[in-house]
Structure 1
């Protein structure tokens, strides 16, 4: 792996809509893939973790999840996104970002682009 990998939930419409925004608006030198199509073992992670949160996997194998994955994405995107990524890495903004991330992730099925399938575990999705 020569560049970071952003791993998201490809079955979730909210997540795929967010990734489409990232691809349109951000210049990120990273592979972006749904966990359903990723070799999670090779990335050093599990399906359980990939279902739970967005993942940013660095080429050295270090993995960041949730709000910190978003922060790494923003940092990698450069200006104008990187200052937001930088501030999201330090307390108390880090704690706030984590809370907001969990609120969004736990309710993504209620957000624009979300579907009821977003709230189901992968093994129970249609």
Structure 2
């Protein structure tokens, strides 16, 4: 299965998709920088589709760390100091989408797969 993924008509250029069976099995797919995805070996039948981009959010706070973790992190950051004036550019563009799309219990996205190659485009609103 393959297709494209957009949010309000604009391509979602990074993130992950998951296809959930009624039994609870999950199949993952990566979203490409051109807004397309491809997933192999999906089972036939109805699947709930979820989309997650939040792990790419540059404003997302890291989990709370212990004193020992903080010390290690500080040493690592000091060893990776960037030259003054250089900007950190994220590897993948982040697009915020509504949280409902990331949870299989609230995602309105579903597909019914049959055997063979299929193309399905998703437009989130």
Give the TM-score taking structure 1 as reference length. Answer: 0.26
More strand by percentage:
2
Larger radius of gyration, structure 1 or 2? 2
Larger relative contact order, structure 1 or 2 (CA cutoff 8 Å, min sep 6): 2
Give the TM-score taking structure 2 as reference length. Answer: 0.26
More helix by percentage:
1
